[in-house]
Amino acid sequence: MQSFARESDRGLSAAMAENETRLFDAIPQAPNLRSGLVNTLIAQIESGDLAPGQRLPTEQEIVAATGVSRTVVREALASLRARGLITTRQGLGAFVAKDPPPRTFSILPDDLESIDEVLRVLELRMGIEVEAAGLAAERRSDDALRQMSFRLDALDAAVRAGSAGLEEDFGFHRAILAATQNANFTRLFDTFGSAMIPRQWTRLDRMTDTEREKYLARMQHEHRAILAAIEARDVNAARRAMRSHLTKTYARFETLRDKAGQD
């Protein structure tokens, strides 16, 4: 009987090991291993393959199944813990949360570990902000227009002071969304926060003073064109100006990515 139990245990362990390997088969191996592991675990939790209360494989088991480093595994688990999807128990390991938070979509600054990921965020922004610019031109109040102008002036001042103007840039784009008079736009933008304005990838610190001035002047020219169209209540022009701004930003990041690949 004991022999049968041992054989049964071995069979169960083998089945569990096979299942754990299957769970991680979809993890992309490049360019961002942590995000790949996080996304795979989230998908397994949402599908029920990893059920509420179920213990996750150990760090070593995940390493063995995926080939990623222990550091990557720890960072991925920390990300899941921060999202409320897993809990950890001292000496027992990590478990799927029994009462996970409602499903939400978020983009965290730590998620943008490659320029390709920044490009995907910009694609999302095009889908949101082009239409929002048109609605802002149609619905904006005088107070909303003053807010947009104030935010853009603050961005000018930040740039002149030598800053990249991340918060001020975010504030200008958020003011446009607020001018739509549809709170869903600003709620969505606030969920993403500063991750929507990934200035950290522009490498301003690597530019000469002249290159930096030209870059920031070009960005501000594009911003001013958006503001002018919204002020004129020209819906189509506002959409075109926003699309042009984000498309040019997209092209600049593509250039950065290609250049980085040549270095």
Q: Which stretches of the chain are assigned E, i.e. beta strand?
A: 86-89, 93-96
Topology, domain 109-262: Four Helix Bundle (Hemerythrin (Met), subunit A) (1.20.120)
pLDDT in tens, 137-176: 999 999 999 999 999 999 988 878 877 788 888 899 999 9
Whole-model pTM? Answer: 0.60
Task: Give the angle subtended at the CA of 99 by the CAs of 94 and 103, to the nearest 5°.
Answer: 100
Spatial contact of 85 and 91, defined as CB atoms under 8 Å apart: no
Average pLDDT value for the chain: 79
Residues of the chain with CATH 1.20.120.530: 109-262
- Give the number of other Cβ atoms within 10 Å of residue 71's Cβ: 12
Residues of the chain with CATH 1.10.10.10: 12-96
- Band the pLDDT of 207: cuts 50, 70, 90: low
Q: Residue for token digits 């304005």?
A: 197
CATH class of 12-96: mainly alpha
By CB atoms closer than 10 A (0-12, 13-18, 19+), residue 152 is buried
Overall average pLDDT of the 217-225 stretch: 92
In angstroms, how far is CA 136 from the centroid of its own chain?
A: 24
Spatial contact of 44 and 23, defined as CB atoms under 8 Å apart: yes
Q: Higher-confidence residue: 258 or 2?
A: 258
